[in-house]
Amino acid sequence: MSQEQVTVDADEPSPLDTVRQFFALERDVLVLSLAMFAFSLGFQMTNRFLPEYMTALGATGFVVGLFGTVGNVISAVYPYPGGAISDRLGSRYALTVFGLVSTLGFVVWLVAPNVGAITLGGVTIQPWVWIFVGLLLAQAWKSFGLGATFAVVKQATDPSRLAAGFASTETFRRTAFFIGPVLAAVLIGLEADFAVSFQYVLGVAVVFGVLGTVAQHVLYDASEDSFGDSFDGLEQIRRDLRTMPDPLRPLLIGDTLVRFANGMVYVFFVLVITQFYEVGLETTVSLAGFSYAIDLSPAAFFGYLLGIEMLVALLSMIPAAKIAERVGLKPVVALGFAVYALFPIVLIAGPDVLAPFMALSWAMILIFAFSGLRFAGLPSHKALIVGPAEQGSGGRVTGTYYLLRNTIVIPSAALGGYLWEFVSPGLAFTIAAVIGVIGTGYFLVFGKEFDAYV
């Protein structure tokens, strides 16, 4: 064999290199993805079922809406300081602290029913109040760590492949979104009392929180971290708002409208299944000559519906990221926005439209499969946010974007809760869909492409 041939062969990528390049799995991105998997598993096992958990502890529909609003406040307030902290201290230590705080939040949710009602100064604190307290802690890794996760992907990935880089982290994350609710559904089925069975779910979430924190601290290589300037307080926030990259502005407006619409109804998705339609799943499955009867409660069925939604998301995200490299980020992002916008009306009215053609449970399966397509544009969306940022400022740019978007979205869940409780669920979901369609249309008209994808 000639030396020339040896050189050519040595330059040929191995099968593992090809896989790594396709998924953009640089070391730090891979470690981040593993941590994302652990925390997303814990959060998705629990968060989507918390409205049902709260009603089991005595909360009303309006209180559930307020819970969603508190979540929106956290989503608005946490990312900016989290991004500033990660830029200043480095992603490794920032994410470790955020992971510990999130795990503590899972613990608070776990013990809430055992604390019971407490009377302080003549005021009775109901058990569901502790769910609010736990939320302040549990969302730390997800929201405080948002800027750090964006910055890690940006610094480890070529600009023209940012969507693929985010697709790799989102694949790990959404795999947890797929497994978590299904595992939760299995655990919920162990006890008839939801408040009891859900504590099994929370116990597993605590374990994964500990594992995720340890894994990211031990495996993450901090030598490549980029550090920005020190935090200068409110003046820096104002400066970052003024200097936000121009391509982000139309994206921010369209995204904010879409997310406001989603925020109006998101916390009520589980209640649509468990209280509005009260739909479970009763069927018989035949396999290898044996027949198995399946009888799922509405709460357990919701877990499997979320699994179906995430399965579609997993199958669509990576192909969508590769398509974005050919057609640009904007069309792929717009597709995700469109599904986000339409899903509320599809969920609340679709079962009645499909009633002549299929059973209610199968209609819900089809509807949640459609919902999974809204995540196809998520990697491209993230690339469009962080792509224009300068090196060393990815955390703050991301934090600024989410600070603006999520601040405006704050009242959405309370508005949705008011309409759900005092007007009608149908009107709440219809108004949400209209707002979402307006946001999608705005982005289609005014949205800009990231230069690296032109």
In a 3-state reduction of DSSP, which class is residue 454?
coil
The full DSSP string for 125-173 is E-TTHHHHHHHHHHTIIIIITHHHHHHHHHHHS-GGGHHHHHHHHHHHH
What domains can you pick out in the chain, each with its CATH number? 3-453 (1.20.1250.20)
CA distances to 292, 294, 357 from 283, rounded to whole Å, are: 8, 5, 17
- pLDDT of 105-157, one tens digit each? 999 999 998 887 787 777 888 889 999 999 999 987 776 555 555 666 666 66
How far is it, in rounded angstroms, from Cα 36 to Cα 170? 8
d(CA 395, CA 34) in angstroms, rounded, equals: 20
Helix (H) or strand (E) holding 57: none
Instruction: Give residue 257's pLDDT.
Output: 97
Q: What is the pLDDT of residues 29-69, one digit of tens each?
A: 667 667 777 888 888 899 899 999 999 999 998 999 999 99
> Which pLDDT value is given to residue 22?
40
pTM: 0.80
Q: Is the pLDDT of residue 104 over 90?
A: yes
**pLDDT given for residue 339 in this prediction:** 97
What confidence tens digit (pLDDT) does each residue in 256-315 have?
A: 999 999 999 999 999 999 999 999 988 777 766 677 778 899 999 999 999 999 999 989
Burial of 365 (0-12, 13-18, 19+ CB in 10 A): middle
Which pLDDT does position 378 carry in this prediction?
A: 87
| Cα pseudo-dihedral 156, 160, 164, 165, rounded to 10 | 10
- Quick one: tokens of 117? 């009602």
Q: Which of 283, 284, 301 has the alpha carbon at shortest distance from 292?
A: 284
Q: Are 162 and 386 in contact (CB under 8 A)?
A: yes
14-23 contacts: CB < 8 A, separation 24 or more? 22/164, 23/164, 23/167, 23/168, 23/171, 23/318
